[in-house]
Structure 1
Amino acid sequence: MASAAAEKGKAPADTEETAAATAARLTAEWTTWAMKNAKVVAHYGFIPLVILIGMNSEPKPRLAQLLSPI
């Protein structure tokens, strides 16, 4: 019985990836996914991090003092 890839005119060797190629492709996909998510976390987490650090410093300011421009 012939495989579906052979029926479409492709040789079976063309459709099979080696283990190294598969690992490289998956590594690239996960790296891209991780970097995209890290960008979002850094974008939305920077200001709250600054406020949190400011609230835990000495002397302890009130939130209004911390957020006011003066």
Structure 2
Amino acid sequence: MSSKVVLKTKGKSTKGSKPADDKSASKLLKEWSTWTMKKAKVVTHYGFIPLVIIIGMNSEPKPSLYQLLSPV
């Protein structure tokens, strides 16, 4: 009985395999969508109140800024 020993090498890739830094399309899409959602969250967070003020200033009848921001 003879045993077969298989050695796994570290470092350089073997012949015919893809390089480690080559990313698949699905992985790139996931990274891009994650980046986009993070940026959209920040834009929404800091842009919502100014957007409401701008829309309020352009409505009829035109209120003053104090009237828009006061709770009464």
TM-score clears 0.5: yes
**How big is the alpha-carbon RMSD for the aligned residues of Structure 1 and Structure 2?**
2.5
- Off by >4 Å, runs of 4+ in structure 1: none
Percent identical among aligned pairs is 57
* TM-score, normalization by structure 1: 0.73
Q: Deviations over 1:18-65 (max 9, x none)?
A: 7xx621111111000000000001111100011011101110001011
Report which of the two has the higher share of helix: 1
**Greater Rg over alpha carbons, structure:** 2
The match for 2:5 is none
Q: What is the distance in 2 between the residues matched to 1:8 and 1:26?
A: 24
Q: Which segments of 5 or more consecutive residues in structure 1 lack a partner in the other structure?
A: 1-5
* TM-score, normalization by structure 2: 0.71
Q: Which segments of 5 or more consecutive residues in structure 2 lack a partner in the other structure?
A: 1-8
Q: How many residues align?
A: 63
The match for 1:46 is 48
